[in-house]
Amino acid sequence: MAIADFDWKIIEADLRKAATEILFRHPDPKPSAASLVHDAWLELARSDKWDAASENHLKALAVRVMRHKMLDGARKFYSQKRGNGAIHEELDLTRHEASEDGPEAILRVNEALQKLQREDERAATVFEYYHYGGFNQKEIAESLGISETTVRADLRVAKAFLKSILGPGD
């Protein structure tokens, strides 16, 4: 089903909740929840590459777009703060400190999520829907066509994997 075929008014409230959750987890600088939701909706609606099978699937796609918009903002902030284009060493995730904040922390978490995705794509998707999208376990199960037991197991795997990379602070 094309993105434009969905009723925006029905979905917007849920996406604002998800955007608020994403923004809460990410320090400044950040846009408003409304701006993040509208930007994600526009990106989804303007592109031919996005199709959604259900409202939950559309919400999941929007959450992914919103998270990536936050990552892009963090990368831009980080590059300006650190020399804008200068050659940098890669982030060493093993030296993660729970007390660090800011765009650097966002990038560390994204690096860890990318590693998890390479190891276990479904667990990474489940974690993304749960942590960033505010989906409950039943909604995740319905969106991915898996059981709630599998969702719980994937969440345990994802949390343990990310904790092993980031340490207990994130």
Q: Six-digit token pair at 109?
A: 């978490």
Q: What is the mean pLDDT of the chain?
A: 76
For residue 49, what pLDDT is reported? 72
Q: Which of 74, 80, 69 is closest to 103 using CA atoms?
A: 74
Q: Six-digit token pair at 170?
A: 């994130």
- The domain made up of 3-82+99-166 has a fold known as Butyryl-CoA Dehydrogenase, subunit A; domain 3 (1.20.140)
Q: What angle do CA 155, 134, 11 make, to 5 degrees?
A: 135
Q: Are 88 and 149 in contact (CB under 8 A)?
A: no
Say how far apart CA 121 and CA 62 lie, in whole Å: 18
Q: Which residue has the higher pLDDT, 50 or 87?
A: 50
Say how far apart CA 50 and CA 27 lie, in whole Å: 29
Say how far apart CA 93 and CA 84 lie, in whole Å: 21
Which of 54-63, 66-75, 86-95, 143-152 has the largest mean confidence? 143-152
Say how far apart CA 28 and CA 121 lie, in whole Å: 29
Mean pLDDT computed over 39-65: 80
56 has a pLDDT exceeding 70: yes
Q: Which residue has the higher pLDDT, 32 or 154?
A: 154
25 has a pLDDT exceeding 70: no
For residue 122, what pLDDT is reported? 95
| Sequence-distant (≥ 6) Cβ neighbours of residue 125 within 8 angstroms | 117, 144
pLDDT band at 79; cut points 50, 70, 90: low
Say how far apart CA 151 and CA 80 lie, in whole Å: 39
For residue 169, what pLDDT is reported? 59
Percent of the chain residues topping a pLDDT of 90: 21
Mean pLDDT computed over 100-121: 83
For residue 91, what pLDDT is reported? 31
